[in-house]
Amino acid sequence: MSDQQSVFEILDLSDLERGPRVQALHELGFTWADLEEEEYWMDAIAVMRSDIYKELEEASAKLWAILDKAVRYIHLKRDLYELLGIPPVLWEMLDGFSIPEEGLISRYARFDFAIANDGTIKLLELNADTPTGYVEASIATPWICEQAGVTSPNHAMKEQLAAAWQIERPDTAACVAYGSHLEDSGTIEALARHSGLTIQCVDCLDLWVDEGILKDGEDRVIKRMFALYPKEWMAVDEGGDALAYAVEQGNLQLFNGPHSILLQSKGLIAAVWGMYELGLLFDNEEREAISRYILPTYNKPVFSGSFVSKSVFGREGGSVRLFDDSGTLEIEDEEGYDSSQLFPSVYQKRAELARIHTAKGEFHLLTGMFVINGKPCGLLGRAGGLITGNASHFIALGVR
């Protein structure tokens, strides 16, 4: 299908001088548009048809409610925790706290969708624990679109983030390698800035637990922390059980909260599909949305056609393997960390990603939709291969 027939129109901006634009984005807080010699930011805009954006927004709201409902069903059922691959070190934490109010299990999340050239929308996964891409979506995308006279629906992201954090009120934001890892450092700095709060940014590797109290490298007590630190790693990292203990004892509140790990697990999508097939839990309207937007997903490879396998806690493409119609391995991610060595996998029917033609060549387009404070509010575009991993490019998404 040509670009003229696609629901995406590609505006090529590569003839504009790149250096001043990269510098302008750097001053706004997007400091990794170029990474060493690599161009992470693709100087183009993928413009989505307005009717597809409206459907995507509505689909996101429906799926957010469906997954929220599924988590409430799973909560306190340890056999289902195990099915979702939730590490046992987290079970006490999950059971010891009341689940947040409806729609707010995670206040900062991002859906990843496959939107085909013909406009078919399918959910691939939900990052409800530690999503990145916030700077690209909330800062870079509106600026790039404004420069080109294209509408961006992302302007509400800052307002929604401020509303969320005015309630959660973290005193600290943390990531690994703060100050040297540009993307994660820039992400927590932007979140802190947009919150309107006084928040100290720290390196996760400088944190330690003293008799159930979390402290930073200067012995400052941390009570309320947002961390780009995947909760499943508490089962793997040295000191992870001590961090879990600090939360269990009520000495530390983490954001997103503990129950976001249930939304994060790709096993939840398999559970939703299983309940859909069994006619459990969901009403007719919810079942219609599941049928339309969720791909058949299982805990075992039961497909007769092409499918994908991925760890329930795989991130940035890590652990993803694509199988063809005969069930033969076609391609696998070789750059991201393969967390299927530590956590179970799910198996999902393959979906078609839009193919876009740019000055850099042909790419597959992955569409992200942020959900902040319970509201779908921001698009994130990534252009890459069949597997969207660390080597993919950021491309701004606008709406016609």
Q: How many CB atoms lie within 10 A of CB 278?
A: 8
User: What residue type is assigned to position 258 of the chain?
Assistant: P
User: What's the Cα-to-Cα distance from 225 to each of 103, 204, 256, 275, 348, rounded to whole Å?
Assistant: 21, 11, 9, 35, 34
| Domain count for the chain | 1
Residue 236 inside a domain? The answer is no
The predicted pLDDT at position 388 comes to 84
SS3 92: helix
The predicted pLDDT at position 4 comes to 59
Rounded CA gap, 71 and 145, in Å?
36
The predicted pLDDT at position 338 comes to 86
What does the DSSP 8-state code read for residue 353?
A: P
In whole angstroms, what separates CA 69 from the centre of its chain? 19
Run of H or E residues at 209: strand 208-210
Residue 127 inside a domain? The answer is yes
Q: What is the pTM of this model?
A: 0.96
φ, ψ dihedrals at 155, nearest 5° = -65, -25
Residue 135 inside a domain? The answer is yes
Residue 194 inside a domain? The answer is no
> Which of the residues in the chain have pLDDT under 70?
1-4, 317
Residue 314 inside a domain? The answer is no
User: What residue type is assigned to position 323 of the chain?
Assistant: F
Residue 39 inside a domain? The answer is yes
Taking the CA atoms of 280, 281, 286 and 291 in sequence, report the sign of the dihedral they define: negative
Q: Do the Cβ atoms of 350 and 3 come closer than 8 Å?
A: no
Residue 258 inside a domain? The answer is no
The predicted pLDDT at position 105 comes to 98
Paired with 367 in beta bridges are 113, 381
Run of H or E residues at 246: helix 240-248
The predicted pLDDT at position 1 comes to 45
Residue 227 inside a domain? The answer is no
Q: Do the Cβ atoms of 309 and 323 come closer than 8 Å?
A: yes
Which CB contacts under 8 angstroms, 24+ apart, belong to 57-62? 57/153, 57/369, 57/376, 59/113, 59/121, 59/123, 59/289, 59/292, 59/293, 60/111, 60/369, 60/371, 60/376, 61/376, 62/286, 62/289, 62/293
Q: Which domain holds residue 95?
A: 8-147+354-399
Rounded CA gap, 192 and 188, in Å?
6
SS3 70: helix
- What does the DSSP assignment read for 38-65? EE-EEEEEEEEPHHHHHHHHHHHHHHHH
| HEC secondary structure over 255-292 | ECCCCHHHHHCCHHHHHHHHHHHHCCCCCHHHHHHHHH
The predicted pLDDT at position 314 comes to 87
